[in-house]
Amino acid sequence: MSTTTQVRPTGGPLLQQFEYGLDAPICLTWELTYACNLECAHCLSSSGRRDPRELTTAQCEAIIDELQRMQVFYVNIGGGEPTIRPDFWHLLEYAVAHQVGVKFSTNGVRITKDRARFLASTDYVDVQVSLDGATAAVNDYVRGPGSFDTALRALRNLRDASFQEAKISVVVTRQNVDQLDEFKALAGEFGATLRLTRLRPSGRGADVWDELHPLPEQQRQLYDWLRAHGEDVLTGDSFFHLSGFGGSLPGLNLCGAGRVVCLIDPIGDVYACPFAIHDNFLAGNVLRDDGFATVWRDSELFAELRSPQTGGACAKCQFFDSCRGGCMAAKFFTGLPLDGPDPECVQGYGESALAAANIRPEAGRNHSKTAATRNEPVMLTLRRREDLQAPPVSACAQSPLAGFTPDTR
Amino acid sequence: MSTEHLGAPFAQRPALGERWGLSPAVALRPESFGALAYHFGNRRLTFLKNPRLASLVQQLSKQPDVGTALAQAQVPNTQWPAYLEALAGLAEGDMIRPLDPDRTDQGVEL
C-alpha cells in the first residue's frame, strides 16, 4: 500500500477529519453468518445459506481481541440471522467481557423468554428487532409469512424481562412510509426506541428496489416527519441524502464508507460498508491479510475512499455541502457513477441520471436459498379491478341484458 | 450509525475550583484530530475536537481542580471560557463527573 500520500489537515471541521478516515472505525458492522431462517425480499446481504467458510469461534474471538486493542467501542452484529450461530451467545459475552459493546440485529426468532432475561441481565448489549411494517400485512409482504408475529413475540419477551431500550429497526419503504406514526406507537407500547433506516438497492434489494423505494413525494413526507420527530428516533444517520431538501438532519451527513464505517462479513472479508458487498468494495480479508487492523489501515481501496472526492457533476449543486452526493452503494447498485447524484436525489438529478440508460452491476456474493421455502415472501397482492362492477360477460351469455349496468343516477 | 445516542442530561457544570475526571464508564481513543470518548452506559459517542482538549480531559482527574488542569494543559487564559463550555457539554453527557477533592487515587479506568 502506498497511496496514502494525502496530508491530513490539522484543525478544521470534524467532517473533514472524517473524510480522511480514523485510526479505527466507529461504526463497524459484523455479519456473523449468511444463514437465515427468513428470506426477506430486500436482504442487503443476499442471505439465506450458511457459507462453509464461515469463521470459527476461535477466529471470531481473535477478531474481538483485535477490536479491543483498536478500541472499537462497539460492533453492530448482523447477518443473516446472527442468533442462528450456535456460538452466538458465547461470542456476545466474549465481546462484552473485552470492552467491545454489542448491538445486534435480529428478526427475533431466538429471543425466547429465557434469552430475553439473559439479555436484560447483560450490560453493554443493544438489541434491534427488524420490522418492516407496522401491520402483519405490510411487514410480511417483504419479510415473509409469520415474520411479524415472530418480531412482536421477541419484543414482548424483551419487555416482559424488563430489557431497557430495545430498538425496533425499520427499513423505510414505499409500502410502510405511511405507517411512521404507527411504528412510533408500537415502539411506545414495547418501551422500545424506533430506528428508521434507508432502503438500499444492495443484495436482493437490487431486485425489488424499483418496487420498494419511496417515491419522490414520499421522500419529502419522510423528511418532514424526521424533522418533526427526529429527536427521539434513531436513523443510523442514513438519510443524509434528504438534507438536499434544505435543512440538515441530526447526525453525520457524510458517506462514512472506509472512513469511519466498514463491514466484516461471515468469512472475514472486509468491505467498505455493509451495503456494498461486492468485489469493487472488497478491501481485504482478516485471515489472509494479517488481521482486521492491517486491512483497515493499509487497504488500497480504503486509502482511495479517504482521499478527497471531487463530487463530479454534484459539485455544482448548491446543496452539495448538505448531502455530499448521497450514498455510494445506492449509486453503484443502480448503475450510477460514484461521483454523480444519488438515485433518490431530492433535487431530481437522480431520475435524469437513471434515465440515461445505465447498466446495473452484476450481483455480488449471493447466499440466497436455492429453492423456495415456506418462509419466502411472495410479493403479490390479490385485488379486484376497480372498474369492474360485475363478473365479466362470457361470449356465450344468452341473456339480452348481459353486460348491461343500469344507470342508477 | 456512529452518532446515535439518546442520553439523559447530567445537571452539574464544572467550575474552576472543582476536581473532575472521566466517568468510570467512559473510554478515550486517541485520534489525530483529538480523541473519541465513548460512554458504555448511555452509549454516547463524543468527539474531542482538538488534541489539547483531549489531553485536558485525560489529565483532569490527576489535577487538584479544573483551573490547575487548564493551566497544566497550557490553555491560554482567553480560551478558558470556551474550554469550560466544552467541559460543561461533556458533563451533560456524563462523560466527566465531579470527583471527591480530597482523594487523589480515584480510578478512572474501566
Residues 118-137 of A with CB under 8 A from B: 123-124, 126
In the structure, what pLDDT confidence band is assigned to residue B102 with cuts at 50, 70 and 90? low
Reduced to 3 states, what is the DSSP secondary structure of residue A262? strand
pLDDT tens figures, A307-323: 877 778 888 888 888 88
Backbone angles phi, psi at A103, to 5 degrees: -115, 120
Taking CB atoms and an 8 Å cutoff, what residues of chain A touch B38?
A: 73-74
The pTM of the full predicted model, rounded to 2 decimals, is: 0.87
pLDDT tens figures, A93-121: 999 999 999 999 999 999 999 999 999 99
Closest residue by Cα to residue A391 from A402, A380, A407: A402
Name the residue facing A14 among B1, B41, B49 (closest C-beta).
B49
Q: How far is B102 from chain A (nearest CA, A)?
A: 30
What was the pLDDT predicted at A398?
Answer: 86
What was the pLDDT predicted at A5?
Answer: 47
User: Is B25 within 8 Å of chain A by CB?
Assistant: no
Name the residue facing A71 among B6, B29, B49 (closest C-beta).
B29
Query: Which residues are within 8 A (CB) of A190 and not within 5 positions of it... i.e. 6 or more apart?
Result: A155, A156, A158, A159, A166, A168
Indicate whether A382 pLDDT > 60. Answer: yes
Whether A99 and B50 lie within 8 Å, measured CB to CB? no
A71-75, A234-238, A398-402, B84-88: the lowest-pLDDT one: A398-402
Summarize the confidence of residues B43-54 as an average pLDDT: 90
What was the pLDDT predicted at A409?
Answer: 65
Q: How many CB pairs under 8 A join A and B?
A: 70
User: Is A52 within 8 Å of chain B by CB?
Assistant: no
DSSP result, A293-336: HHHHHH-HHHHHHTSPP--GGGGGSTTHHHHTT--HHHHHHTT-
pLDDT tens figures, A272-318: 999 999 999 999 999 999 999 999 999 999 999 998 777 788 888 88
Indicate whether A68 pLDDT > 70. Answer: yes
pLDDT tens figures, B1-13: 334 444 444 458 8
Residues A252 and A270: their CA atoms lie apart, in Å, by: 22
What nine digits make up the cell of A182? Answer: 404507527
Name the residue facing B32 among A8, A76, A165 (closest C-beta).
A8
